[in-house]
């Protein structure tokens, strides 16, 4: 299994809802990331987990709450979001993976969850 | 903070043409990365560069790590319609550090 999976693919939620985004990888990677990406913009780092411990929080508002239950799973809990939080949320893991003819130790991204906050 | 200037912002080319794009920075990076992102998908790593002056190919793609460590280039030869997408460069100063992304180059290929 050489991919990062994310569920759901799409999510629409109201400002009072509580929802969670899920990310999973079975490549044995020990670093996992959450990014937020607005249309036609680069990904913006939100959180980094290293060996299941939160190592970086890029001053993200508390309405976003990450969780790493084990080395394969990463969740992002959402509560009381604002419409401006609508974006593509990307999960990534970092570790060794073949790319072309080379083997890299870099971040590999999941397909993302398209979040719309009404 | 560190910033990457990626150019051009967009390109419209004919199928079969070669493409060049680049990233420059006022700071030194020790790793340069090139990703491609298709609509509705996450970025996919194309090439990683770890040494100044390094030239690396992946199929029709060739990327170079600038000698000054402040720039990197990506070339695509003989473009095809599936090359369409947004190409992002990213730089990293240390192995454990965060990646800084450029603003992306949107490539359109006309058949």
| Subunit contact A110:B102, Cβ cutoff 8 A | no
The neighbour count for residue A91, using CB atoms within 10 Å, is 27
Strand, helix or coil for residue B27: coil
pLDDT reported for residue B60: 97
Q: How far is B14 from chain A (nearest CA, A)?
A: 22
pLDDT reported for residue B26: 93
Q: A27-59: per-residue pLDDT in tens?
A: 899 999 999 999 989 999 999 999 999 999 999
Q: Does the structure show a pLDDT above 80 at B105?
A: yes
Which of these, A88, A34, A42, lies nearest to B5 by C-alpha position? A42
> B56 to chain A: which residues are within 8 Å by CB?
102
More confident residue, A58 or A98: A58
**Of the partner residues B41, B47, B88, the one whose CB lies closest to the CB of residue A111:** B41
**Of the partner residues B58, B88, B106, the one whose CB lies closest to the CB of residue A42:** B88
Residue A21, by phi and psi: left (phi above 0), alpha (psi -120 to 50) or beta? beta
- Averaged pLDDT of chain B: 94
Q: How far is A112 from chain B (nearest CA, A)?
A: 6
Q: A9-19: per-residue pLDDT in tens?
A: 999 999 999 99
| Subunit contact A104:B48, Cβ cutoff 8 A | yes
Q: What percent of chain B has pLDDT over 90?
A: 90
Q: Does the structure show a pLDDT above 80 at A97?
A: no
Q: Which of A88-97, B24-33, B54-63, B79-88 has the lowest mean pLDDT?
A: A88-97
Over residues B60-74, mean pLDDT? 97
The model's confidence at residue B107, banded by pLDDT at 50, 70 and 90, is: very high
Q: Does the structure show a pLDDT above 80 at A1?
A: no
The model's confidence at residue A109, banded by pLDDT at 50, 70 and 90, is: very high
What is the DSSP pairing of strand A10-13 with strand A113-117? parallel
The model's confidence at residue B96, banded by pLDDT at 50, 70 and 90, is: confident
User: Nearest residue of A to residue B105 by CA position?
Assistant: A40
Q: Quick check: B45 and B56 in contact, CB under 8 A? A: no
Over residues B5-21, mean pLDDT? 97
Distance (Å, rounded) from C-alpha B63 to C-alpha B49?
A: 8
Mutate to test the interface with A, among B9, B30, B44, B45 (most CBs of A within 10 A): B45
Q: What percent of chain A has pLDDT over 70?
A: 92
- Tell me which residue has tokens 């992306």: B104
| Subunit contact A90:B43, Cβ cutoff 8 A | yes
Write out the DSSP string of A72-85.
TEEEEEEES--GGG
| Subunit contact B40:A112, Cβ cutoff 8 A | yes
Which of these, A98, A100, A102, lies nearest to A27 by C-alpha position? A98
Q: Does the structure show a pLDDT above 60 at A100?
A: no
Which of these, B17, B22, B7, lies nearest to B80 by C-alpha position? B17
């Amino acid at each position: 299994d050489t991919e990062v999976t994310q569920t759901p693919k799409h999510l629409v939620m109201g400002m009072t809802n509580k929802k969670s985004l899920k990310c999973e990888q079975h490549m044995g990677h020990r670093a996992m990331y959450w990014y937020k990406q607005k249309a036609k913009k680069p990904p913006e780092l939100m959180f980094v987990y290293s060996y299941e411990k939160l190592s970086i929080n890029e001053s993200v508002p508390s309405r976003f709450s990450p969780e790493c239950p084990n080395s394969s799973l990463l969740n992002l809990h959402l509560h009381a979001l604002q419409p401006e939080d609508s974006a593509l949320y990307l999960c990534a893991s970092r570790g060794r993976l073949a790319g072309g003819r080379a083997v890299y130790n870099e971040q590999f991204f999941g397909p993302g969850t398209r979040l719309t906050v009404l | 903070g560190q910033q990457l200037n990626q150019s051009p912002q967009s390109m419209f080319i004919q199928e079969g043409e070669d493409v060049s794009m680049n990233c420059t920075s006022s700071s030194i990076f020790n790793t340069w990365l090139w990703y491609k992102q298709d609509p509705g998908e996450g970025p996919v790593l194309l090439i990683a560069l770890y040494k100044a002056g390094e030239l690396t190919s992946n199929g029709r793609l060739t990327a170079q790590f600038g000698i000054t460590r402040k720039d990197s280039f990506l070339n695509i030869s003989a473009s095809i319609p599936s090359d369409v997408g947004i190409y992002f460069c990213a730089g990293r100063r240390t192995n454990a550090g965060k990646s800084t992304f450029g603003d992306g180059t949107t490539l359109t290929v006309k058949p």
